[in-house]
């Protein structure tokens, strides 16, 4: 039996400047599954993504393995230097396949349905990051993101390219970018320096029910104030900002190695929805 990858439709450009195409996995010319390949510009590099991988017939016969390997070859031909696969938490066979093919878990997506606005601990005051504050905050945010990316398995060049590209794309108008909440948290009696900072995107996409999904882009506690519960306070602030904007669903990314943050989010009621696996394309 011959297994092949066949285009399901034409290749399309993406809004980020990459390309995407959906493919059929075929056995002797008959469709038995499908997947999508996408290239994503990250500064001077291209990253590949494999998504929508599903075997609809003949599972357990290596068709998913063939599809993933064939997709990697497509992404190599497109000039991609690495590949990521975003896998739903419930898709245990897909997670097992990723591990078999040499992918490692880099990141988790977590989400929570918001109902009532929580109270902030006494003595804490949020303040908007304005145009004057923005350059200093941005430099700190980029360096923190860079460290997390390197810790998750990227080399420094890949991490710096992704950090620079992501911040330009997501904050095109700086502190005045629409749909973004940038806040610093201050405490009574703690001096003029902030305890930490929050970057919240209030509508990254619409959910199947039509409601918006907000996303925690950065939550960072100042080094001198860590271990005092301020990470929890910043997350409570994120939930308050969402509900004030009429948003009832909040998600976030957390790097797999950051177990302290994962335990915090779990204690606040966030649950894993997806896991991101990746590897270099040599």
Q: Where in the chain is the domain with CATH 3.40.630.30?
A: 112-274
Q: Can you give the pLDDT at residue 152?
A: 76
The CA distance from 99 to 108, in Å, is 15
User: For the segment 164-210, what is each residue's pLDDT rounded down to a tens digit?
Assistant: 888 888 899 999 999 999 999 999 876 788 999 999 999 988 888 88
Q: Can you give the pLDDT at residue 269?
A: 97
Burial of 257 (0-12, 13-18, 19+ CB in 10 A): middle
111 has which bridge partners? Answer: 251, 271
Q: Can you give the pLDDT at residue 196?
A: 95
pLDDT at 1 over 80: no
Domain 112-274 has CATH 3.40.50.620: no
User: For the segment 41-79, what is each residue's pLDDT rounded down to a tens digit?
Assistant: 887 889 999 999 999 998 888 999 999 999 999 999 999
Which tokens go with 68?
Answer: 């993933």
In order, the DSSP letters of the chain are: --EEEEESS--EE-TTS-EEEEEEEEETTEEEEEEEEEEEEETTEEEEEEEEEEE-SSTTSSHHHHHHHHHHHHHHHTT-SEEEEEEETT-HHHHHHHHHTT-EEEEEEEEEE--SPPPPPTTEEEEE--TTTHHHHHHHHHHHHHHHHHHTT--HHHHHHHHHHHHHHH-TTGGG-TTEEEEEEEETTS-SS-SEEEEEEEEEEE-TTS-EEEEEEEEEE-GGGTTSSHHHHHHHHHHHHHHHTT--EEEEEEETT-HHHHHHHHHTT-EEEEEEEEEE--
Q: Pairing relation of β-strands 104-113 and 271-280?
A: antiparallel
Mean pLDDT of 211-226: 93
Do 121 and 186 touch, CB atoms closer than 8 A? no
Do 37 and 72 touch, CB atoms closer than 8 A? no
Tell me the percentage of the chain whose pLDDT exceeds 70. 99
The CA distance from 6 to 67, in Å, is 10
Q: What is the pTM of this model?
A: 0.86
35 has which bridge partners? Answer: 23
């Amino acid at each position: 039996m011959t297994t092949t990858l066949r285009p399901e439709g034409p290749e399309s450009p993406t809004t980020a400047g990459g390309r995407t195409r959906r493919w059929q996995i075929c056995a002797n010319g008959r469709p038995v599954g499908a997947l999508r390949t996408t290239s994503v510009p990250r500064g001077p590099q291209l990253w590949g993504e494999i998504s929508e991988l599903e075997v609809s017939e003949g599972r357990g016969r290596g068709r998913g393995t063939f599809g993933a390997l064939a997709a990697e070859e497509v992404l190599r031909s497109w000039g991609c230097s690495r590949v990521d696969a975003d896998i739903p938490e419930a898709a245990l066979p897909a997670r097992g396949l990723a591990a078999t093919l040499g992918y490692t878990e880099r990141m988790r997506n977590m989400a929570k349905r918001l109902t009532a606005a929580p109270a902030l601990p006494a003595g804490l005051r949020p303040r908007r990051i304005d145009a004057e504050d923005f350059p200093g905050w941005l430099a700190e945010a980029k360096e923190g993101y860079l460290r997390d990316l390197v810790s998750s398995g990227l080399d420094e060049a890949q991490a710096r390219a992704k950090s620079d590209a992501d911040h330009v794309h997501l904050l095109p108008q700086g502190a005045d970018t629409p749909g973004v909440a940038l806040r610093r948290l201050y405490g009574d009696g703690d001096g003029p320096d902030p305890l930490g900072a929050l970057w919240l995107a209030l509508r990254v996409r619409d959910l199947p029910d039509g409601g918006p999904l907000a996303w925690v882009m950065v939550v960072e506690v100042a080094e001198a104030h860590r271990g005092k519960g301020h990470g929890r306070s910043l997350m409570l602030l994120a939930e308050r900002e969402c509900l004030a904007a009429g948003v009832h669903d909040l998600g976030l990314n957390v790097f797999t190695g950051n177990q302290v943050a994962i335990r915090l989010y779990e204690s606040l009621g966030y649950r894993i929805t997806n896991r991101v696996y990746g590897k270099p394309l040599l």
